[in-house]
Chains A and B, each alone.
Chain A
């Protein structure tokens, strides 16, 4: 292609502009679609929300005296399954899988520990489910997951 003369130069400038617009538009579409896809398709929002909620709940349980049991419902969208793990210093949520926890895109939220409260490392899941946060004898743990409870959590109230 030859761009000669006044018209040719003008056409060249127009072509550069068109190419620039197409490239910019393409990048824009990829960015926006990627963001919308991540919002709709993956579980990152649920993992973020429940890790914070459970982390802060465990944190506040540290200041309690005596024994207590919280019934906690995890409601995720259809097809989404999460595992919840209570660790020594954090609550970690991962996609439900048999793979090691590090390979499941974990989302964690740290809580403050106390020298006179023990943490029993425990995992529950997959969501949706209803499970219990138990504080007994100054020890906090997750417990009480069963298929029947998962079914009841799934059914509309």
Chain B
């Protein structure tokens, strides 16, 4: 063994070698434990994630929030849909283009928090040409859209939901066929 030979000569160089060999030996002992430590950590993390998976306390209602927003847009009286002045009946799917503005939408759908659902509504004609666009909470939508469209994760971003519905839009009491495209962002 190199260790024994070096010890027997008792020269400075061999002492130095001896010291370094001792050090190597201790390091080796510690290094041997690393796989066990890593394995222990992995098992513990694995068990934690299994418990976390089966004990689920989250209530995810994002899709439902989007459904409710769509319902608000389609059925709210005195909003963008044509409302009969005499009976108050709302005709979902018939859009009064004169009412299709940010102000009308913000009056019908008002959020108090910043982190709520902004949306962009676009009307297209039968040839899929953009006729008009309006927003629910325009500022928040424009702030979140680049992040959500890029599918950036994290608290500052959101998830984009899109739906296109066949509608009729009224210009000067004349009905025209078209499509309503709703893009809503639900913040993370």
Contact = CB atoms under 8 A, between A and B. Distances in A.
Secondary structure class of chain A's binding surface, majority of residues: helix
A60 B75 CA distance: 9
Interface in B102-140: 107-113, 116-117
B174 interface: no
A115 B36 contact: no
B41 interface: yes
Given A48-B57, A112-B109, A60 B44 contact: no
B25 to A, nearest CB: 7
Interface residues of B, number: 43
B48 A65 contact: no
A46 to B, nearest CB: 10
Interface stretch (B10-18, B63-71, B142-150, B161-169): B63-71
Contacts of A16: 30, 33
Contacts of A28: 44, 47-48
| Most B C-beta atoms less than 10 A away, residue of A14, A28, A49 | A28
Interface residues of A, number: 39
Contact of B77 (A24, A45, A65, A113): A65
Interface of B: 25-26, 29-30, 32-33, 36-37, 40-41, 44, 47-48, 51-52, 55, 57-59, 61, 64-65, 68-69, 71-72, 74-78, 88-90, 107-113, 116-117
Nearest to A109: B61
Contacts of A147: none
Contact of A56 (B48, B61, B88, B89): B61
B68 A59 contact: yes
B13 to A, nearest CB: 22
Contacts of A110: 111-113, 116
